[in-house]
Amino acid sequence: MYDDMVTARYYEERLQEEYLEGKQPAFDISAGPIPGELHLAAGHEASGAGVCAHLRDDDTVTAPHRPHHIAIAKGVDLKRMTAEIFGRATGLSKGKGGHMHLFDPDVNFACSGIIAEGCPPAVGAAMAAKKRNTDSVAVAFLGEGAVDQGGFFESLNLAAVHDLPVVFVVEDNDWAISMPIERVTDVENSAERAGGFDLPGVRVDHDDAVAVYEAAEEAVMRARDGNGPTLLDIQVHRRMGHFMGDAEAYRPDEDVAAHKARDSIERLAATLRDHGVTDDDLASIRETTEERVDDAIAWAKDQPEPDPSEAYEDVFTNSLSGAVEGGDGR
């Protein structure tokens, strides 16, 4: 878990540097080697690492618009993921999806920029696993700001009524862009939503990777053993703006400071030290992960850009000729 968490943190620090190249002084979102939006998950690492520690390649994970820590913990190919973020032809989606649309069929990972979008496909994957009599499970990650989406409730209901092997993981970082959770709901924590569907809801209310690991172990094993879904609500922290370039004018200074003070990576390092892991061991893990990340970024930046003539390949779209000529109505 420590390896995954420090990989994710360093990866995002490096992406942050690359992202800002060419975008200053006036913030130009389309400039630089990573054009478009970039949502960093620094502060969410305990959730991805603690949950995915229980998953195999054949288990399915769907993630939201803040996906890097989850993708890394699920074992998504780091080089092809980085090429995708840099918009290169060898990226996971041939450079057409960008950082919110990473798909890696080798480890059954997908993410989406549409919030709560991953819930129905995770339920579908869980239903497929059950019908095929496998013991694979599916996990849908979403933010606390997405729990009032209809698709989330429909997914909880279908998963509960069919006893499907799926775990819903809400990452609660207190904010949905500029909207604090208490302004959009009177429900104190999202785990309570499970009661309405008669399924277990568990809240992990601090950024402790070990506590996440333990709660996720029970949930994933329950799903794998055929005992149905669980809803986990995990407190994480948002160390940065909603997206790169967010000045966070809406956010009180004390809140930024409080979130930065709760570092789950430091907390896990302290736990590891208590169990006899030395500072040298930890430094050597960090060194290896930094090399791996630097290699992936250097490799990705060296990859070709997609050919513009391929823009309409591999996409769902109405055929122009069909639309003009009446076509077949697709």
The answer to the question of residue 121 lying near ligand TPP (CB under 6 A) is no
Question: CA 152, CA 116: separation in Å to the nearest integer?
Answer: 6
Alpha-helical segments (H) within 245-278: 253-261, 264-274
Q: By CB under 6 A, which span of 51-59, 82-90, 170-178, 288-296 interacts with ligand TPP?
A: 170-178
Q: Could you say which of 237, 242, 251, 286 contacts ligand TPP (CB under 6 A)?
A: 242
113 binds, among Mg ion, ligand TPP, none (CB under 5 to 8 A by kind): ligand TPP
The answer to the question of residue 65 lying near ligand TPP (CB under 6 A) is yes
Would you mind telling me the total number of residues written for the chain in this entry? Answer: 330
The answer to the question of residue 143 lying near Mg ion (CB under 5 A) is yes
Nearer to ligand TPP, 173 or 303 (CB): 173
- Report, in Å, the least distance between residue 297 CB and ligand TPP: 23
| Cβ atoms 88, 305 nearer than 8 A | yes
- Report, in Å, the least distance between residue 154 CB and ligand TPP: 14
Q: Token digits for 75?
A: 């074992």
The answer to the question of residue 155 lying near ligand TPP (CB under 6 A) is no
Q: Could you say which of 155, 173, 264, 303 contacts Mg ion (CB under 5 A)?
A: 173
Nearer to ligand TPP, 162 or 262 (CB): 262
Backbone angles phi, psi at 81, to 5 degrees: -65, -40
The answer to the question of residue 114 lying near ligand TPP (CB under 6 A) is yes
Residue 16, CB half-sphere, CA atoms under 13 Å: how many? 17
Alpha-helical segments (H) within 30-164: 45-52, 68-74, 78-85, 119-131, 150-161
4 binds, among ligand TPP, Mg ion, none (CB under 5 to 8 A by kind): none
- Report, in Å, the least distance between residue 113 CB and ligand TPP: 5
Q: By CB under 6 A, which span of 76-84, 172-180, 248-256, 322-330 interacts with ligand TPP?
A: 172-180
Chain centroid to Cα 175, Å, comes to 16
Q: Which residues does 63 contact at the CB level (< 8 Å), separation at least 6?
A: 70, 71, 102, 109, 110, 111, 112, 118, 141
Q: Could you say which of 43, 98, 145, 228 contacts ligand TPP (CB under 6 A)?
A: 145
Question: CA 157, CA 141: separation in Å to the nearest integer?
Answer: 17
CB atoms within 10 A of CB 6: 23
- Strand, coil or helix: 209: helix
| Torsion 10-15-18-21 (CA) sign | negative
Size of the residue set binding Mg ion (CB under 5 A): 5
The answer to the question of residue 184 lying near ligand TPP (CB under 6 A) is no
Q: Determine the longest span between alpha carbons in the chain, in angstroms.
A: 72
Q: Could you say which of 115, 125, 164, 285 contacts ligand TPP (CB under 6 A)?
A: 115
The answer to the question of residue 145 lying near Mg ion (CB under 5 A) is yes
Nearer to Mg ion, 40 or 83 (CB): 40
The answer to the question of residue 283 lying near ligand TPP (CB under 6 A) is no
Question: CA 65, CA 73: separation in Å to the nearest integer?
Answer: 16
Size of the residue set binding ligand TPP (CB under 6 A): 14
242 binds, among ligand TPP, Mg ion, none (CB under 5 to 8 A by kind): ligand TPP
For binding to ligand TPP (CB under 6 A), which residues are involved?
65-66, 113-115, 143-146, 173, 175-177, 242
